[in-house]
Structure 1
Amino acid sequence: MTEPAQWKIDFVKNLEDEINSRKVAAIVSIKGLRNNEFQKIRNSIRDKARIKVSRARLLRLAIENTGKNNIVKLKDYAHGQVALITTDESPKKIYDILEKSKTKAPAKGGEIAEEDIVIEPKETNFPPGPKISEFQKAGLPAAIEKGKIVIKSEVTFVKKGDVITREKALVLKDLEIYPITAGLDLIAAYEDGLIFNKDVLSISDEKIMSDLASAFLGAKSLAIEANFIVPEIVPDMISKAYLEAQSLAIEANFVDEKNIDIFIRKAFINASAIEALINKDLNNEDITDKKEEKAEEKETSSDEDAASGLGALFG
């Protein structure tokens, strides 16, 4: 069996020492990242973290050799074009730092569109010339107006998930549209025996606090219902007991100085209701009396008319 090259042995040992020297070790993807962009990011986080580019196989070997508790699971994320980041910052903080360091870059051709690339109607800085045929060939509704090339209408130039062709990449660069997000993608990080993947680290602080608050309120509610007394719910339990005692006292007509105002309000409401019923009955009686009076008047009038008619007949 061929012995590994000494530089590989030394490199793996260097990676091991680097991982062991810091609390956190993270694997990041450097796929598609230009060298100048990589150097810019490296310089921007130099005071918080160190970055070492490595072949994935050598990085996996270094992770296996460190002996840190449960870190061997981190090697499952070391595939493709990757680098190692070591830091004493938390995984969440280093993830946020890397996300903030990302910038928009021009497409070179061959990249996958991260989202729909929409070009709005606008006037360009290009005079009439060969550019208009390049734009039209690439699929843009280009025309000449007032001595300038203009985009006549909105167009979805590249759909999300489609490959950005070299031809379209050149047009996008001419229009100063930079559709590629350039930066280090944190794939997974290790700290104190735990592995944090991107899905976990991408959760915002606001979301975490909201979920914690909801969980706390849910736990409090459950504890109160189960009468499971812990310091956090004692004030709520006292309030609940007080309200239940007050309700029971009212039901039993037990009057004291703490609930007498409730009984007074209750009596006032009942009195008002009785008064309303009495007034309603009185009104109904008045209406009935008036109807009877009208009926009697009508009957008397009819009798008088009949008598008058008979008098005229026999008079």
Structure 2
Amino acid sequence: MIEPAQWKVDKVNALTEELNESPVSAVISIKGLRNKEFQKIRSDIRGKVKIEVLRARLLRLALQKSNKKNIAGMTEHATGQIALITTSETPKTVYDMLVSKRTKAAARGGEIAEEDIIIEPKETSFPPGPMISVFQKAGIPAGIEKGKIVIKSEVTLVKKGEVISKEKAQVLEKLEILPVTVGLEMIAAYSDRLVYSRDALSITIEQIVSDMAGAFLKAKALALKADFLVPEIMPELLSKAYLQAQGLALAANFVDEKNIDIFIRKAVINATTLNSLINKDLNNENIENENPEESQTEDKKDEGSGDDAAAGLGSLFG
């Protein structure tokens, strides 16, 4: 059996001790992060957290060796290009801190477009020369105007979810377009015997409040539908019962001190309607009494027109 190198043994022991002493530990991904960007982030958060880049296998061994309860659950997350964070800050604080340090960077080729990469029509700083062929080869409609290479029309160079090719990455860098978000990505964190996934830590306070409010409204609606008596829906249930009782009383013509005003209003409306109909009939009778001759003349005209029509038909048939 081959004995492991002493430096590896020492490193695992040191990592184990650090994990045991640190209140919070986190595994973070450094994949695709350039050294310059990594050093900038490390400098920004120095004093709040300790970051150490290490081999995934050594961290897995240290996690398994640690005497902290459930910390071995982070072993499955210790893969790929990773670093270890130890701190006294809460996992959520560390997660938010890392998110705030993300920046935009140039693509190098092979990255997945986070959104549509759109090239707007504009004049570039490039003089006529080989660059126009580079643009055209990448699918960018380019021409020359006033001694400069210009992009003639808008074009979607890479659609969301597509791979950014090396050729297109070079063009984007020339145009100073930074389509890639870079930063330290938290994979998992450990605190107080619990392992937190990235998904759990990404939840915001606003999202929690919104979800709780939505759940409350759904539960309230269900309780109302089932007539389930709880304090939160008592006002609605009482209002519903009152309206139902009032409707039943009206249908049964049951009068009491609470609904008598409704019956009075109903009676007034009925009386007003009846009075209007009576007045209309009286007005019609008065008009007929005031003009009896006109009424008789109209009747005669109607009779005459009937005789004329009969005579006309007779002449048609001989």
Common fold, TM-score beyond 0.5? yes
TM-score by length of 1: 0.77
Could you tell me how far apart the structure 2 residues matched to 1:282 and 1:17 are? 108
Q: Partner of 2:223: helix, strand, or coil?
A: helix
Matched-pair identity in %:
63
- Equivalence for 2:260: 260
Question: What is the number of equivalent residue pairs in this alignment?
Answer: 305
Could you tell me how far apart the structure 2 residues matched to 1:36 and 1:303 are? 110
- Equivalence for 1:153: 153
Q: Partner of 2:171: helix, strand, or coil?
A: helix
TM-score by length of 2: 0.77
- Equivalence for 2:232: 232
Superimposed CA distance per residue, residues 16-45 of structure 1 (whole angstroms, 9 cap, x where no aligned partner): 344444554332211010112112222333
Could you tell me how far apart the structure 2 residues matched to 1:138 and 1:79 are? 36
Could you tell me how far apart the structure 1 residues matched to 2:277 and 2:92 are? 69
- Equivalence for 2:12: 12
Q: Give the 3 Å change call, closer, same or farther, for CA 245–35 of structure 1 in structure 2.
A: same
How far residue 150 of structure 1 moved from its aligned partner, in angstroms, is: 0.9
Could you tell me how far apart the structure 2 residues matched to 1:272 and 1:87 are? 83
* 217-226 vs 192-201, greater mean Cα deviation: 192-201
Q: Partner of 2:85: helix, strand, or coil?
A: strand
* 113-122 vs 171-180, greater mean Cα deviation: 113-122
Q: Partner of 2:187: helix, strand, or coil?
A: strand
- Equivalence for 2:130: 130
- Equivalence for 2:313: none
- Equivalence for 2:100: 100
- Equivalence for 2:84: 84
Could you tell me how far apart the structure 2 residues matched to 1:114 and 1:303 are? 89
- Equivalence for 1:213: 213
Superimposed CA distance per residue, residues 57-88 of structure 1 (whole angstroms, 9 cap, x where no aligned partner): 22222222334444333222221111223444
Superimposed CA distance per residue, residues 120-146 of structure 1 (whole angstroms, 9 cap, x where no aligned partner): 111011222333333334443222211
Could you tell me how far apart the structure 1 residues matched to 2:87 and 2:297 are? 101
Could you tell me how far apart the structure 2 residues matched to 1:97 and 1:219 are? 36
* 158-167 vs 112-121, greater mean Cα deviation: 158-167
- Equivalence for 1:313: none
- Equivalence for 1:179: 179
Superimposed CA distance per residue, residues 155-204 of structure 1 (whole angstroms, 9 cap, x where no aligned partner): 23234444434333222212111111111122233444544433444444
Could you tell me how far apart the structure 2 residues matched to 1:192 and 1:282 are? 93
- Equivalence for 1:222: 222
- Runs (5+) with no aligned partner, structure 2: 309-318
Could you tell me how far apart the structure 1 residues matched to 2:19 and 2:270 are? 79
